[in-house]
Amino acid sequence: MIFMSQLRNCPECGRVFSYLHRNLCPRCLENEEDMFKDVRTFIKENPGATIVETSEATNVPEDTILRFLRDGRIVSQGLQSSIVLNCNRCGDVIKAGTHCQTCRDELNREIRNVSGAAAKTAPQKPAARSGDRMRILEDRKKNGR
């Protein structure tokens, strides 16, 4: 299988890169991973630190730390925040990601129901019977049938 990629400009540094699954060039992606490791280490060593304290101690911008929270890469229970994350579907307060567990479960159930219903309504090819044969109508007339 050949994957077609698009050329894009990195939103961080402006370099052109081949987009595959993340909207960052390889160099900025590596830099983001380093920042993530720094934030994760700081939170483990300093439970209850605020986003501002974490940002100052790690030199990682607050927006980047918030993106880590929204992406579900870190969980806010180890991080004190004045910013509250809410489920995109029901609005409940969540610790990480974009949806609460209840909404994720419901969405997964709906997807399974839709994909199961689609499989049931897909037209089925009738099974071929061994006695079915094609004949030409003219042959039947010639043979008196």
Model confidence pLDDT, tens digit, residues 62-89: 889 988 888 888 876 656 555 677 888 8
Name the phi and psi angles at 124, rounded to 5.
-95, 140
Helix or strand (DSSP H, E) at 50: strand 49-50
Which pairing describes strands 49-50 and 79-80: parallel, antiparallel, or unpaired? Answer: parallel
Residue labelled with tokens 């689609």: 118
Residue labelled with tokens 């980047």: 64
Q: What are the CA-CA distances from residue 45 to residues 40, 54, 61 (Å)?
A: 9, 11, 19
Q: Where are the chain's structural domains?
A: 84-117
pLDDT in tens, 21-41: 888 899 999 999 999 999 999
* Rounded CA separation 27/110 (Å): 39
Residue labelled with tokens 């094609």: 134
More confident of the two residues 111 and 128:
111
Average pLDDT over residues 87-107: 86
pTM of the model: 0.57
| pLDDT for the residue numbered 75 | 76
